A and B are shown apart, each in its own frame.
Chain A
Amino acid sequence: DARVTQTPRDKVTEMGQEVTMRCQPILGHNTVFWYRQTMMQGLELLAYFRNRAPLDDSGMPKDRFSAEMPDATLATLKIQPSEPRDSAVYFCASGSFDATGELFFGEGSRLTVL
């Protein structure tokens, strides 16, 4: 049963600490997205990759956030330094963009920055 796997599921950290979230996309999917979800803003696109190349990271605060795909089985989202306003659920999603464009989401990483 192919699925997108995210770690950690929950992370509590103090302001100023570095946070790294990891995602294993579904094997064979060539597109990987990072989304952030908060109650106030809903679902926001942060960045996405196609064939491991970053295509759009305009939704990401670049002074503290960075997203990479070191290989086809791993995508990372790093926040350094973290701030309380970064508290949210971060989702990774992957897709192969066949005719239907369906995306498959991970279960999310809930981040709380104190």
Chain B
Amino acid sequence: GEDVEQSLFLSVREGDSSVINCTYTDSSSTYLYWYKQEPGAGLQLLTYIFSNMDMKQDQRLTVLLNKKDKHLSLRIADTQTGDSAIYFCAEYSGGGADGLTFGKGTHLIIQP
């Protein structure tokens, strides 16, 4: 089946940029997502990018997509303590629920 891989943990200092990386195997992915899970809560969609784009920016968030290498990244500028969460990469290749795959999540740890 399709696979989405991401590191389990990332530690950054407050004020620095965080870059969370993800690789996927499905070459027919149409949408790629970043979901955020805050402590004690469910996952919420943070941002997404359509596969014909290579970059999307939204305030402190920058999503980069390298479709050739099947690599997705999420950059958070000026990381704050409120950004401490688990970030999930997911890809969707269409066709309903069968086409959706999540990574296991990256824990972003903020050091003061």
Q: Is the CB of B96 within 8 A of A91?
A: no
How far is B40's CA from A105's CA once the two chains are assembled, in angstroms?
A: 12
Instruction: Tell whether A105 pairs with B42 under 8 Å between CB atoms, given A42-B8, A43-B88.
Output: yes
Label chain B's interface by main secondary structure. Answer: mixed
Label chain A's interface by main secondary structure. Answer: strand
Chain B CB within 8 A of A57 CB: no
How far is B102's CA from A108's CA once the two chains are assembled, in angstroms?
A: 17
Interface residue tally of chain A, by bracket?
20 to 34
**Would you give the shortest CB distance from A111 to chain B, in whole angstroms?**
14
Can you list, as one digit per residue, whether each of B90-108 has a CB less than 8 Å from chain A (1) or not (0)? 0010101111101111000
A43 proximity list for chain B (CB < 8 A): 43, 88, 102-105
How far is B103's CA from A52's CA once the two chains are assembled, in angstroms?
A: 25
Contacts of A70-114 to chain B: CB distance below 8 A: 91, 93, 95, 97, 100-103, 105-108
B31 proximity list for chain A (CB < 8 A): 100-101
Chain B CB within 8 A of A55 CB: yes
**What are the 10 closest A-B residue pairs judged by CB atoms, nearest first?**
A42-B104, A105-B42, A101-B92, A105-B43, A31-B97, A97-B96, A107-B42, A42-B105, A48-B97, A106-B42
Could you list 20 examples of A-B contacts with CB < 8 Å? Answer: A31-B96, A37-B105, A41-B104, A42-B8, A42-B105, A43-B88, A43-B102, A50-B96, A55-B97, A91-B43, A93-B42, A97-B96, A97-B97, A101-B99, A102-B33, A102-B45, A102-B48, A105-B42, A105-B43, A108-B41
